[in-house]
């Protein structure tokens, strides 16, 4: 079996020397951190901090310095690229020299350089229980002494094996669960010593669900992640397009670009044609040019986006096909039909041709039929955007290489997350009058 080394970057954080006595919110930048390979970078940390004696394992090791107890940490290499993100609850463990380190206690880790996903879901005061997946391969189940930070620790007692079918299902569900909940914003719920409220797995919990039982954890005005979609840049000024139904009812909208979260604002929306214009603090050098005339019949096209959100992976997904009709469902000539795959989460994503020009925005599909997928024509998009005094660059006149198209799609397409008030989510689920696709755990 391939040996797995978990390079958990938070373990290498410089010690923060401030004293803290209460559970309080803070967003800070750690200007220098050391990675396992000896390189140096920095991190951005957001969430709730405590003094070490307020965290069970830190208290056991007499560690009283300030630590992140609940929240998220983003680690950057010296070149500015995101190395990884840790999200969850944090506590102390021992390095190979038995010195206390602050590390993830429960939650998820995404390591982008190694394309690794780790789910830390349970400890019984003896062992820590985890799942890991490397390079999109098989999930592994493993345990390690709860006090050991590394597999190489003399008392680690690490046990690793391939995950069973049920464990793979559980790993995917746990990964989605931890990714979807708010742990780091100022309004996030305080989960105390455990996020999951029992040692049962998510799979077991879902075997006897109660309708909307998740709402019992929140107040009506609590704002939580509700659903996701796709968006894309159309200029260098941080202006993006997406679907109206992606941002409908959102108390806040965030976009994720290369693993970094950016707050965004809704500039304008067209409910009839299902278009939204969004502005963001993120400025992208790569952006899409929009075709003025729209698609042509049988034109080869590509759909870029994040189908099923981040459940499958954090990477951009691209499907290809052709324009199969210049009318949408019910003879809607503001739309067109394509045979490239579109799934929940693709909504708001760009449909581009071989010149790299946007000919449409992904908007809908028929779930019970193959090849019946629909986009909003770029001619319709042009009219709405121009009416809001936002100008496009001129379309490209020649075809782009595969490498050029890949770079454009990766840099100019973003994952969009909509957060809503709990009472608004409940109302939308009960009325069923929206195209918005809510996270699966909210529909139960």
Report yes or no on 66 lying in a domain. Answer: yes
Query: Cβ contacts of residue 99 below 8 Å, gap of 6+?
Result: none
**pLDDT in tens for each of the 444 residues of the chain?**
333 333 344 433 334 444 444 678 888 988 888 776 778 889 899 999 887 667 777 777 777 777 888 999 999 888 888 888 999 999 888 888 888 887 888 999 998 877 889 999 988 888 889 999 986 678 999 899 888 888 788 888 888 888 888 889 899 999 989 988 889 888 888 888 888 764 444 433 443 445 666 777 788 888 888 999 999 999 999 999 999 999 999 999 999 988 888 989 999 999 999 999 999 999 999 999 999 999 999 999 999 999 988 777 788 999 999 999 999 988 899 999 999 999 889 999 999 999 999 999 999 887 666 778 999 999 999 999 999 999 888 999 999 999 999 999 999 999 999 999 999 998 888 776 567 888 877 776
Geometric angle at alpha carbon 437, from 361 and 362, rounded to 5°: 10
Of 145, 180, 215, the one marking the end of a domain is: 180
Q: Give the tokens for residue 10.
A: 């938070």
| 241 in the same domain as 176 | no
Q: Do the domain assignments include residue 337? A: yes
CA gap 338, 241 in Å, rounded: 20
Q: Which residues pair with 361 in a beta bridge?
A: 350, 376
Residue 199: count other Cβ atoms within 10 Å of its Cβ.
Answer: 12
The answer to whether residue 266 sits within a structural domain is yes
Please give the pLDDT value at position 212.
66
Instruction: Give per-residue burial for 158-197: e unless 16+ CB within 10 Å, then b.
Output: bebeebeeebbebbbbbbbbbbbbbbbbeebbebeeebbe
- Sheet strands (E) in 124-242: 127-134, 139-145, 159-162, 223-233, 239-242
How far is Cα 87 from Cα 44, in angstroms, rounded to an integer?
12
Asked whether residue 175 falls in the same domain as residue 231, the answer is no
Write the DSSP assignment of 215-269 as a string of letters.
GGGS-TT-EEEEEEEEEEE-STTSEEEE-HHHHTT-SEEEEEETTEEEEEEEEEE
Rounded to the nearest 5 percent, the helix, strand and coil shares of the chain are 15, 40, 45
C-alpha atoms less than 13 angstroms from C-alpha of 415 in its C-beta half-sphere: 22
Instruction: Write the CATH number for 278.
Output: 2.40.10.120
Could you list the residue range(s) of the whole structural domain that residue 361 is in? 226-418
Residue 216, domain member (yes or no): no
**H-helix or E-strand containing 34?**
strand 24-34
Q: Is residue 211 part of a domain?
A: no
How many of the other CB atoms lie within 10 Å of CB of 379?
18
SS3 at position 125: coil
DSSP 382: H
Same domain, 230 and 346: yes
Domains in the chain, number: 2
Residue 439 lies in a domain: no
């Amino acid at each position: 079996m391939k040996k797995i080394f978990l390079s958990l970057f938070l373990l290498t954080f410089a010690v923060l020397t401030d004293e803290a006595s209460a559970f309080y919110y803070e967003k800070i930048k750690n200007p220098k951190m050391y990675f396992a390979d000896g390189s140096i970078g920095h991190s951005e940390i957001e969430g709730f901090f405590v003094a070490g004696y307020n965290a069970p394992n830190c208290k056991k090791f007499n560690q009283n310095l300030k630590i992140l107890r609940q929240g998220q940490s983003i680690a950057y290499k010296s070149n500015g690229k995101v190395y990884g993100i840790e999200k969850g609850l944090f506590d102390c463990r021992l390095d190979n020299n038995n010195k206390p380190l602050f590390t993830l206690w429960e939650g998820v880790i995404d390591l982008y350089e190694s394309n690794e996903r780790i789910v830390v879901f349970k400890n019984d005061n003896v062992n820590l229980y985890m799942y890991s997946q490397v390079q999109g391969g098989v999930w592994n189940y493993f345990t390690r002494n709860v006090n050991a930070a590394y597999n190489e620790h003399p008392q680690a007692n690490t046990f690793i094996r391939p995950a069973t079918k049920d464990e793979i299902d559980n790993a995917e569900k746990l990964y989605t669960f931890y990714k979807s909940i708010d742990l780091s914003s100022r309004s996030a719920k305080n989960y105390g010593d455990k996020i999951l409220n029992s040692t049962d797995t998510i799979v077991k919990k879902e075997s006897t669900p109660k309708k909307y039982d998740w709402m019992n954890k929140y107040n009506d005005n609590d704002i939580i992640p509700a659903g996701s979609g796709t968006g894309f840049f159309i200029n260098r000024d941080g202006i993006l397009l997406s679907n109206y139904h992606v941002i409908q009812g959102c108390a806040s909208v965030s976009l994720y670009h290369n693993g970094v979260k950016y707050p965004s604002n809704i500039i304008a929306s067209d409910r009839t044609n299902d278009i939204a214009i969004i502005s963001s603090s993120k400025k992208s050098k790569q952006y899409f040019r929009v075709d003025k005339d729209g698609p042509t019949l049988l034109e080869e096209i590509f759909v870029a986006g994040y189908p099923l959100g981040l459940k499958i992976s954090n990477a951009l997904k691209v499907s290809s096909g052709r324009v199969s009709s210049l009318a949408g469902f019910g003879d809607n000539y503001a739309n067109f039909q394509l045979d490239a795959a579109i799934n929940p989460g693709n909504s708001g994503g760009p449909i581009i041709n071989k010149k790299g020009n946007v000919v449409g925005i992904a908007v809908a599909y028929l779930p019970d039929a193959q090849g019946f997928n629909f986009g909003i024509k770029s001619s319709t998009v042009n009219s709405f955007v121009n009416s809001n005094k936002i100008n496009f660059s001129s379309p490209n006149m020649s075809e782009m290489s595969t490498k050029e198209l890949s770079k454009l799609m990766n840099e100019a397409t973003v994952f969009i997350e909509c957060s809503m008030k709990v009472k608004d989510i409940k109302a939308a689920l009960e009325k069923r009058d929206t195209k918005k696709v809510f996270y699966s755990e909210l529909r139960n």
